[in-house]
Amino acid sequence: MDDALENVLALLRRGVSLEDAAKGLEWRAFEGVSSQIFSENGYREFRNFRFSSKKKRYEVDIVAISMPRIILADCKHWSLRAGKGSALKKAAEAQMRRALEFGSKLQEFKILGIADHDKAILIPIIITLHEEGIAFSNGVTVVPLSRLNSFIDGVSAGLLDGIKVGIPRLY
């Protein structure tokens, strides 16, 4: 566990809210805390997952897997500022594009360890530091870090299923 995560955990133990504890994190550490929350909930997670599709490069901040569900998270450690709603909508469009391209290449990602499965449910999300005015945009759920655990509970219960994808066999 890295120092930034340990500092956040120490603040949480002292009663500081998750949002306040995470404010001082730089963006990589924010991704690390988000990733750790998935891990603590039994998901296998991969950070900074890069792939190519149709001659373009893509990166997903966190791929969290508990089959058949695969959560594709884009982490936004943005401060409170005007005009963020528009930026979030653009980020949601980009995240949906990444999710669709990811789904089209899913059978090629051997590192994910999903070859024994014939289907997956892709759930694209954006994790934010603060509660936002937008909860859902372009098929992408916007989840504040403080609500990530309850979001994961909903996903695990099948309440938030997203894009269903077949996984063809390569052999």
Could you tell me if residue 171 is inside a domain? no
Q: State the pLDDT confidence band at 7, using cuts at 50, 70 and 90.
A: confident
Answer whether 0.85 is exceeded by the pTM.
Answer: yes
Asked whether residue 114 is assigned to any structural domain, the reply reads: yes
Report the domain count for the chain. Answer: 1
pLDDT higher than threshold 90 for residue 96: yes
CB atoms inside a 10 Å sphere around CB 42: 10
Query: Whole domain around residue 161: which residue ranges?
Result: 3-166
Summarize pLDDT for 11-36 with one digit per residue, the tens.
Answer: 778 887 777 777 777 888 889 989 99
126 contacts 95 by C-beta, under 8 angstroms: yes
d(CA 157, CA 10): 30
pLDDT for the residue 80: 58
Burial of 146 from C-beta contacts in 10 A (0-12 / 13-18 / 19+): middle
CATH code for position 91: 3.40.1350.10
**Is residue 122 in a domain?**
yes
The whole-number pLDDT of residue 1 equals 53
> Which has more pLDDT, 156 or 48?
48
Count the residues in the chain. Answer: 171
